[in-house]
A and B are shown apart, each in its own frame.
Chain A
């Protein structure tokens, strides 16, 4: 196999591994096509440590005399050190890691080789689909339909094959509307609010350009959305200035004169490079224990990460408010419609819809709104906070989403059916995974790579009974109410579980979580026994 060409030294004896919260261990290091494997020499209880190469964000080599030290910085923010005897060996290992950790070719990646004994490629792939989503919402059927205009991905390469659109708009009109939208992402339905029949639509920016082009079909499409209602809202996640500027490069916004029934609101939600830089600054601040209090607080502020969390949550709150309280439909978009658009619509759905707050519901939501809706995971998660490589299209939008969800969980510990552990797992898997779920950038790429036949599905794996135990929230009690998050700075917290994951502090918090879980299990057992006894006695 080709990957083995990159491995000059496959085995090193007498290497030393240092990882956070563990004593240093001496043992054997192996490099394979996709992993680093370390086995220590403890004869009584040998320990193995397995690291997916894809998880490595950056390495640093330091040579001293005849041996070398490689510092490995992972995408899950863990920092490891390997002491390797022999300069040549050390350099070989470092070179292998550098090449194998950023393979470009999808089909060489580990998910195509991952074959655990308890899961099979024949297992169902995915939880949700447009058709299934549509069939679950019968109230929708008189006014909305499933269109397969995109069945060969020619109308919009980043949309799935089927999308939900107003019944009155035929496929021809959709094709024309798509030409008027960035990347062909014409407005489609992503959420239907059962309580009042209002909807959330999402799209990309309209291509009005400098000379204010119009598109009759696009206008009709949006008109059909608010059919019968007096108005709708457009939430543009760019500032109005940014939206104006976009016209110079052929983009633009829905003008008042052409979309008279739609009221535009601008809320700037950061994405792209600025967000990536924010993450880098925050991780840098968290990684340095020697800062004093003033320096830490000023670095935390300077990273702006919490400001981004605040803006994202409050924009999602605004969207939910338009739908739930004002009773109006909303169209949300940014430029491409593949990043902050998805972020805002996902958080808003969690705020309003109890069905999205169960473990299954949340995973299905992520699958619909992120995987199928074409968030370019492979581009956005190519590197994390440590990489020295020049930034290309990396941006931690998905991580920002998970942080927002964590804030919801923190403010409403009983309202979500899943635990912090799930969010941590997803944050890790998005960057490096044994599963195929987060591979590729769109539905189209995924179908070309035949992921559903050749890799395993993470979401299915997370729902197996054994996994479910650690990812379900033991305190969960379904509430039908909307959960309005507070966006006051004092209510928002640094997500310590993630950003300080490899410190002692996180361990104590995990302990507390475990204690809660045990208490709930004890309580349920007790309850069960008493009921059983009661049954016996009566």
Chain B
């Protein structure tokens, strides 16, 4: 609490474009220990906007304007909130508080340790056992006579970033394991990630070998032999180095590198060329800028998209997954995947491959299992990558964002193959950053154990499972999934799109009544109800008449409509069409352009006289935290030509 200097400021203007808002609303800003809360003055709506401090990525204070001081909050889910505070003093206070609160220094400051949903101890413990990795290994058929569990890493003796329970080839003796781990970066020796029962081929993962220019290790070579022998039909394995070849070669100078094909018999080395976390970080910043462009021409937009390189990276990751899945499913050859440390690119490649190979991972529960296995248990450094604590900015990188986007790109290509929808992916994305649950905290299983997270925090998975109705894709065809077990995506560049749902908040204009998914979900639900009703009717008719009934066609009834009364659909035209679209090819640096657009339209300076007192509210109530689903876009218009809707008979 010591960081809260000004807990409440009145007469604040807020513009949240991400929820489709087009002009600022006036209200009161409250600062709590965990959230910034904005409550609209408008007595009819009293809309509340909640922003978790841990979701705030940066707080900027651009130069003052006559109407007051501005704050720009950029969130980790790429929402941008513009706040105008009348008094500069208040603004400075809020700024200072937010800067501190959005960068916790210790785990104990994190929201998940104070977050207390209304559940008892048993329920919380249950929530942590909701995902059971051992049962997933059993589901894929291990242990068996090829792969066994090893106790080598109990107490994290061999590798402190691996889980304690690991599967290795049956023929790999403990001495081989320890020997191999000594020859691998951070001790991350080859272990099983996914076993494909149909072909007996496996996806394995590790880190780079410490080979330098000429180093070799007999145990490590034996380990790779053992991996090959665990796949009876094959006489070689693929070693997929997910880095660009140049990077891998450069690593040799540092005593690391890649497998020498002369030393390892029966391997085929394959480089994929996924760039490192630093390249990805700056690429994402560029695509965020593209998403924030206010009124770009088509040329500026496509140029920005190309220049960001983002889709190129997404394609590289998907290509890695496709290569592995093909080797395993079509050739029946096991694959060993690594990058440098084996916790970023390796994790991406393995989990995409599993998703392509196994329809189970395309279900709601399956995706949770996959993330728990490949990401959480294998030591993806969540706290570093997603800046849970104030730390080295060079450790931050959108590795998980990219995986989720790969899943989204696949779901766009195969609309019937996934049980979950975009909302599910976006929700996972939010919680990876939010620190509201303990699931993604820490950098390894060991760290999580030391933090005693299961006793002190809640798991996100059981919560998501409770809300699964919201996450269901109405088009999902489970039977199709069975017949088309392995997905074979096309990774030609034209198959990739910018993920509007994540990066573009400017134009969330599709009114809810125009969303086919929501419509179909509602319809599917209703179909089920109707079916029940039908059985019920049939029974009653059978009871009344004593004979089964023969159906005759009756006239199809018109669908019932539940339309919101609206003035129009889509965005307000004046903002979109009046500005001439100039196709000047020379794209100004994106940032500059954005800044100019911001300066040109002082959206925050709108006259208003509303001053009203607030009613009390409960700061622990998180249900309103996200207003992503706040519904119909703001229908008011700033244009002079737009007219006054209150006069319009349609608008009541």
Contact = CB atoms under 8 A, between A and B. Distances in A.
Interface stretch (B115-123, B295-303, B388-396, B447-455): B295-303
Contacts of B576: 314, 317, 484, 486-488
Would you list the 7 A-B pairs with minimal beta carbon distance, nearest first?
A: A489-B301, A484-B570, A296-B493, A512-B415, A533-B537, A301-B302, A297-B306
B279 interface: no
A534 B291 contact: no
A265 to B, nearest CB: 10
B581 A314 contact: yes
A414 B312 contact: no
A231 to B, nearest CB: 13
Interface string B615-652: 00000000000000000000000000111000000100
A511 B299 CA distance: 33
Contacts of A325: 573-574, 641-643
A454 B650 CA distance: 48
A146 to B, nearest CB: 32
A491 to B, nearest CB: 5
B556 interface: yes
A6 interface: no
Nearest to B517: A413
Contact of B641 (A296, A321, A491, A526): A321
Contacts of B554: 528, 531-532, 535
B475 A516 contact: yes
A306 B549 contact: no
A342 B2 CA distance: 67
27 contacts: A293-B309, A294-B309, A304-B298, A307-B581, A311-B581, A321-B577, A411-B570, A412-B570, A475-B519, A484-B570, A484-B576, A486-B509, A488-B506, A489-B298, A490-B498, A491-B509, A492-B298, A494-B494, A503-B490, A519-B527, A520-B523, A522-B527, A523-B523, A523-B527, A532-B551, A533-B534, A535-B554
A298 B306 contact: yes
B581 A292 contact: no
Contacts of B555: 528
A503 B296 CA distance: 31
Given A485-B570, A530-B534, A533-B537, A515 B416 contact: yes
Contacts of B531: 526
Given A311-B581, A489-B302, A527 B537 contact: no
A415 interface: yes
A373 interface: no
Interface stretch (B132-140, B227-235, B558-566): B558-566
Interface in A387-420: 411-415
A530 B291 CA distance: 48
Interface string B523-555: 110110011011001101100100001011111
A321 B568 contact: no
Given A307-B299, A486-B507, 12 more contacts: A286-B494, A307-B298, A310-B581, A320-B573, A321-B574, A475-B519, A477-B561, A482-B568, A486-B509, A512-B475, A526-B530, A528-B557
Contacts of A526: 527, 530-531, 534
Interface of A: 267, 285-286, 289, 291-298, 300-301, 304, 306-307, 310-311, 314-315, 317-318, 320-321, 325-326, 411-415, 475, 477, 479, 481-494, 496, 500, 503-505, 508-509, 511-512, 515-516, 519-520, 522-524, 526-537
B534 A508 contact: no
B315 interface: yes
A405 B606 CA distance: 37
B465 interface: no
Nearest to A320: B573
Contact of B413 (A412, A475, A508, A520): A508
A488 B507 contact: yes
Contact of A489 (B296, B516, B524, B538): B296
B577 A483 contact: no
Contacts of A296: 493-494
A536 B573 contact: no
B302 A317 contact: no
Nearest to A315: B577
Interface residues on B, range: 35 or more
Interface of B: 291, 295-303, 305-306, 309, 311-312, 315, 413-416, 474-475, 477, 490, 492-498, 500, 504, 506-507, 509-510, 513-516, 519-520, 523-524, 526-527, 530-531, 533-534, 537-538, 540-541, 544, 549, 551-557, 559, 561, 563, 566-574, 576-578, 580-581, 583, 641-643, 650
A318 B575 CA distance: 11
A481 B523 contact: no
Contacts of A475: 516, 519-520
Contacts of B509: 486, 491
A491 B496 CA distance: 15
A301 B567 CA distance: 35
A292 B516 CA distance: 33
A528 B556 contact: yes
Nearest to A300: B302
A72 B496 CA distance: 28
Contacts of B474: 519
A479 B569 contact: yes
B524 A504 contact: no
Contacts of B577: 314-315, 317-318, 321, 487
A317 B639 CA distance: 14
A516 B516 contact: yes
Contacts of A321: 573-574, 577, 641
Contacts of A267: 580
Nearest to A414: B514
A533 B538 contact: yes
Contacts of A314: 576-577, 581
B503 to A, nearest CB: 8
A385 to B, nearest CB: 15
Contacts of B299: 301, 304, 307
A493 B574 CA distance: 22
Contact of A318 (B315, B537, B578): B578
A517 B49 CA distance: 39
A484 B578 CA distance: 13
Contact of B557 (A289, A326, A491, A531): A531
Contact of A293 (B297, B496, B540, B578): B496
Contacts of B305: 297
Contacts of B493: 291-293, 295-297
A530 B530 contact: yes
Nearest to B509: A486
Contacts of A491: 500, 507, 509
B295 A488 contact: yes
A533 B541 contact: yes
A292 B524 CA distance: 41
Contacts of A490: 291, 301, 498, 500, 504, 506-507
A438 B650 CA distance: 40
Interface hub of B413, B494, B527 (most chain A Cβ within 10 A): B494
Nearest to A301: B302
A414 B523 contact: no
Contacts of A285: 494
Contacts of B414: 508
Nearest to A535: B554
B637 to A, nearest CB: 9
A503 B474 CA distance: 25
A507 B474 CA distance: 19
Given A486-B576, A490-B500, A520-B523, A301 B516 contact: no
